């Protein structure tokens, strides 16, 4: 395999902004606006947004889709050299999927106080997975808060608030 030298250096903010673009695509479809990208060697190899309503699939979180797509792209199930960028703290399901994939690094924007993986007492992630949080947190959480605010205005019930995706 030829070693690729990145032509440009991309920052954490650059890739998080790409994940946020995915969240906006989810919003346009009436989905809870959460987006993710997976980066390998400074190149985006997978991008996705939450599609649980569209696909009638509770597992269709942005992270799950990017993990599947990245493994398919690389032709191997382990993502040890990859970085997952996601606009909200992963849930327990997605954190466990990232652990199975032995993902190298997770960068998430906003904390999820209700459903985030850190709510679980035991360590979910692979011990070698590095975690960075807070990148563009206010931008990424604002879009989610506004989504729920608008849904309430449209007559949504409070119970929706309890289900983040």
63 tagged catalytic: yes
Q: At what angle do helices 62-74 and 92-100 cross, to 10 degrees?
A: 10
**Residue 109 in the binding site for Zn ion (CB under 5 A):** no
Least Å distance, CB 63 to Zn ion, is 5
Segment near Zn ion (CB under 5 A); pick from 3-11, 24-32, 59-67, 151-159: 59-67
Instruction: Tell me the C-alpha distance between 89 and 133, whole Å.
Output: 8
Least Å distance, CB 1 to Zn ion, is 31
List phi, psi (to 5°) of 133. -130, 165
Nearer CB in complex with Zn ion: 10/96:
96
Query: Within 126-165, which residues bind Zn ion (CB under 5 A)?
Result: none
Between the two ends of the chain, the Cα-to-Cα distance in Å is 39
**Residue 91 in the binding site for Zn ion (CB under 5 A):** yes
Task: Choose, from 3, 31, 53, 63, the residue flagged as catalytic.
Answer: 63
Closest CA to 102 of 83, 123, 76, 80: 80
Binds Zn ion by CB under 5 A, chosen from 19, 51, 94, 135: 94
Instruction: Tell me the C-alpha distance between 118 and 5, whole Å.
Output: 35
Instruction: Tell me the C-alpha distance between 141 and 154, whole Å.
Output: 20
Nearer CB in complex with Zn ion: 17/89:
89
**Residue 61 in the binding site for Zn ion (CB under 5 A):** yes
Nearer CB in complex with Zn ion: 43/160:
160
Least Å distance, CB 19 to Zn ion, is 14
The H or E element containing residue 96 is helix 92-100
* Total residues at interface with Zn ion (CB under 5 A): 4
Residues constituting the chain: 165
Residues that bind Zn ion (CB under 5 A): 61, 91, 93-94
Active site positions, annotated: 63
């Amino acid at each position: 395999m030829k070693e690729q030298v990145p032509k440009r250096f991309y920052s954490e903010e650059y890739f998080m902004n790409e994940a946020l673009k995915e969240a906006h695509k989810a919003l346009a479809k009436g989905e809870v606006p959460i987006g993710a990208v997976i980066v390998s060697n400074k190149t985006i190899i997978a991008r996705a947004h939450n599609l649980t309503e569209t696909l009638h699939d509770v597992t269709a979180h942005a992270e799950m889709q990017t993990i599947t797509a990245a493994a398919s792209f690389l032709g191997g199930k382990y993502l040890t050299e990859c970085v997952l960028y996601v606009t909200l703290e992963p849930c327990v399901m997605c954190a466990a999927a990232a652990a199975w994939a032995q993902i190298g690094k997770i960068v998430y924007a906003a904390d999820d106080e209700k459903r985030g993986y850190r709510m679980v007492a035991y360590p979910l992630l692979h011990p070698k997975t590095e975690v960075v949080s807070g990148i563009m947190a206010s931008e990424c959480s604002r879009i989610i808060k506004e989504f729920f605010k608008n849904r309430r205005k449209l007559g949504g019930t409070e119970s929706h608030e309890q289900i983040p995706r």
